[in-house]
Amino acid sequence: MKKRSFLFISMLILALILLLAAVSGGEASMIKEKYHEYSHKGTVLEGFVAWDEELEGKRPGIIVVHEWNGINPQIIQRCRMLAELGYVAFAADIYGKGVRPENREESARQATIYRKDRTLMRERVNAALAEIIILPQVYPDRIATIGYCFGGGVALEQARSGSDILGAVSFHGNLDTPDPENAGNIKAKILVLHGAADPHVPMEQVMDFRKEMEEGGVDWQLIMYGHAVHSFTNPGAGDDPSRGSAYNRAADRRSWEAMNLFFEEIF
């Protein structure tokens, strides 16, 4: 009886030790986050910053550009994920503080403003660059920009502006531009992560982008994911590819891993 009691107590102590180890391991990173107000030519913008407070010293910064419905929980979560990888993530606000479309019509209206005015689009994302480089945790010369859907197109336009970023990553973003000759301005390396079945960015647009990059002498990569359509990284897009936009778990995982390898190279 005493042996059984001793064995039970020993197992209980071991379980408690393992539980404490798991808890302490989960506290290895301390993600801090805050909303960050800044401005562009009199327009107030509200971004979002996430970083690991436990890390010492400076680290690379990643600008994250939202989809056409503005900064939302999906973008906030991506910033947190980047912070967990050791980066400082800054969600750029292209639309302005409080401008958060609530439906497709409002989203389309806001996105169209910037797609019709690429100069304004570039200025808005470069306003985020001006903010992230002055954050005390960030190496000002080690910045990359990633974007989703509308934001993917913004990231590419930032690169076309000649901005001093090391890399630009587009997740299921628009690849078109009214000024393809601006590819000659690109200093960054480019990574495009594209759904092969995306009806919103058809193969003709992909081929035009390829021609643009080649003629501009850009260091570029394009990865296409079979059966993936638009918005393949967003669980909120649903699971019906026939609608043209749908989440694809495999493409989401693979594209995130491709981004990580890209960052290891450029940083």
Q: Give the right CATH number for 33-266 from 3.40.50.720, 3.40.50.1820, 3.40.190.80, 3.30.365.10.
A: 3.40.50.1820
Percentage of the chain modeled with pLDDT above 90: 89
Confidence of residue 18 (pLDDT cuts 50, 70, 90): very low
For residue 12, the Cα-to-chain-centroid distance in whole angstroms is 44
Terminal Cα distance for the chain, rounded:
62
List pLDDT tens digits, range 132-182.
Answer: 999 999 999 999 999 999 999 999 999 999 999 999 999 999 999 999 999
Q: What are phi and psi of 193, to 5 degrees?
A: -115, 110
Output the CA torsion sign for 201, 203, 208, 211: positive
Residue 26 confidence (pLDDT) above 50: no
Of residues 230 and 18, more confidence is placed in 230
Mean pLDDT, the chain, as a whole number?
A: 91
CA distance 168 to 264: 13
Q: Is the pLDDT of residue 19 over 90?
A: no
pLDDT at 63 > cutoff 90:
yes
pLDDT of residue 5: 46
pLDDT confidence tier of residue 8, bands split at 50, 70 and 90: very low
Residue 29 banded pLDDT, cuts 50, 70, 90: low
Taking only the tens place, the pLDDT of each residue in 89-136 is: 999 999 999 999 999 999 999 999 999 999 999 999 999 999 999 999
- Burial string for 95-126 (b: 16+ CB within 10 Å, else e) reads bbbeebbeeeeebeebbeebbeebebbbbbbb
- Where do the structural domains in the chain lie, given as residue ranges? 33-266
Q: Side chain identity at 156, as an amino acid letter?
A: L
**Given pLDDT bands bounded at 50, 70 and 90, which one contains residue 84?**
very high
Radius of gyration of the chain (CA): 21
Instruction: Quickly state the pLDDT bin for 23 (edges 50, 70, 90).
Output: very low
CA distance 66 to 72: 8
The structure tokens 């009691």 sit at: 5
